[in-house]
């Protein structure tokens, strides 16, 4: 189910075309999918997934924060979600080198760190 479907689902409920029970049941299917993702990340490099109206951000145990665009299958965040880690040794090295810094900017070619 995509975001358009969720918006249409909410609108159908607001217009009275879908009762509260059916609306919640169908919306819960999305929550089930999110719970599967959450469970698959136990023991991974990922500490948190923050969803706001501005986007989705992964928080790693190292303190690194990655913007996640789920359709970008080659991004660091997506690789971390799929595999539970992203370039673990490199991430640990960068975290150690940047330990006392408040902000670190990775300016590169979108290939690894």
pLDDT tens sequence across 22-71: 999 988 887 778 888 888 899 998 999 999 889 999 999 888 889 999 88
pTM of the complete model: 0.66
Q: What is the DSSP string of 3-54?
A: HHHHHHHHHHHHTTSS-HHHHHHHHHHHHHHHHHHHHHTTTSSEEEEEEETT
List residues bridging with 57 in a β-sheet.
50, 67
SS3 label, residue 92? helix
Residue with token string 């607001």: 14
Q: Where are the domains of the chain?
A: 1-40, 43-113
């Amino acid at each position: 189910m995509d975001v358009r479907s969720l918006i249409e689902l909410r609108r159908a409920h607001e217009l009275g075309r879908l009762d509260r029970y059916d609306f919640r049941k169908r919306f819960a299917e999305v929550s089930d999918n999110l719970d599967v993702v959450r469970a698959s990340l136990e023991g991974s490099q990922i500490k948190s997934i923050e969803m706001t109206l501005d986007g989705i951000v992964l928080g790693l145990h190292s303190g690194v924060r990655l913007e996640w665009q789920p359709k970008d299958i080659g991004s660091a965040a997506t690789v971390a979600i799929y595999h539970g880690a992203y370039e673990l040794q490199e991430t640990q090295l960068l975290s150690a080198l940047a330990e006392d810094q408040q902000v670190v900017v990775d300016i590169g070619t979108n290939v690894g760190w």
